Structure 1
Amino acid sequence: MTVQQIADRLVELSRQQQSTQAYRELFAEDASSHEMPGVPDGDLTGLDKLIAKSEAYDENMTVHSLEVTEPLVYQQFFSVGMGIDVTRADGNRVQEYEICVYQVRDGKIVDERFIYPMG
C-alpha cells in the first residue's frame, strides 16, 4: 500500500470507530505511540501495547460524535485532525481535539504522535 492508501484506510476505519482493526491491519509489530509530554505511560512501543491502550480508552468512553479530517500526506508522513465528543467513565462529558501524525515505512505505520492542548 502507498502512504496515501494507508492514510485513506486509517481515516475510513477511524470514522467507523474500528481502531483495533486499524492497528492490526496498518501498523508494524514494533510501532510506537507518543502522547503529549508528561502523560503517564504516554510513550509505548509494540503493537500489542498500542492495541491494549486503544481498547482501554474505548472501554472507558461513550462516544457521542467523532470527526476525522481528510489526511494530509507528505513523503512518508501523514496527518489527520480528530475531534471527539465523549462521556468518560466518571460521567464527565468532554470534547477533545488533536492532530495525529503518522510515519510509514515498508507499507506499515511505524510511529504515531498525538498533539493536543494540555490543561
Structure 2
Amino acid sequence: MTTATSTMTTRAIAARLAELCRKGDFETAQKELFAKDAVSIEPYATDDFEKETKGLDKIIEKGEKFQSMVEAMHGGVDISDPVFAENSFALSMTMDITMKQKGRMKMSELCVYEVKDGKIISEQFFM
C-alpha cells in the first residue's frame, strides 16, 4: 500500500486515488492525497454546491454534504484507469445512486486533477 508520507509521483497519486475511490473511501483519499489549499471545481453552481470550493477542510465538508444527500448506492463506484499529461491526470467516475428527493440516477463525470509537490492541488469535474 502506498502512502503520502513521502513525495509521491503523479502516477502514484493517481493509482492511490483510483484505489481509494473504487472502495468509496473519498474522505481518506482527500486527507491523504490533497494539499491543504486544494481547490475543487464543479461544472456549475447549484442550490447545493458552489462552483468552486477552496481548502481541504471545505472540500471534505462538500463530500460529507454530498454523502448526506445519497439515499442508496447501487453497486460500487466505477473508476477508470488514469490518463496522464505531465503533472495532471484524469479519471472517469460512474455511480448508480438514489439521491434523497431526486430519485435514482446514473452519474458519470470526468475528474481532472493537477499535482504539485506530491499533492493534488486541484480537481475539476465535467459531466
Instruction: Give percent identity, aligned residues only.
Output: 37
Measured in 1, the distance between the counterparts of 2:88 and 2:61 equals 24
Residues 46 and 88 of structure 1, relative CA distance in 2, 3 Å threshold: same
The runs of at least 4 consecutive aligned structure 1 residues that moved more than 4 Å come to none
Asked if 1:58 corresponds to 2:67, the answer is yes
CA contact (8 A) 2:78 2:95 kept: yes
Asked if 1:4 corresponds to 2:14, the answer is no
Aligned partner of 1:27 among 26, 34, 37: 34
Alignment size in residue pairs: 116
Asked if 1:79 corresponds to 2:87, the answer is no
Q: Deviations over 1:58-94 (max 9, x none)?
A: 1221211320000111100000000000001115000
SS at match of 2:11: helix
What residue ranges of structure 2 are gaps of 5+ in the alignment? 1-7
Measured in 2, the distance between the counterparts of 1:30 and 1:59 equals 24
Please state how far the C-alpha of 1:102 moved relative to its aligned partner. Answer: 0.1
| CA-atom RMSD in angstroms | 1.1
Matches within 5 A, 1:83-102: 83-90=94-101, 92-102=103-113
TM-score, normalised via structure 1 length? 0.93
Measured in 2, the distance between the counterparts of 1:23 and 1:38 equals 21
Measured in 1, the distance between the counterparts of 2:18 and 2:31 equals 15
Please state how far the C-alpha of 1:56 moved relative to its aligned partner. Answer: 1.1
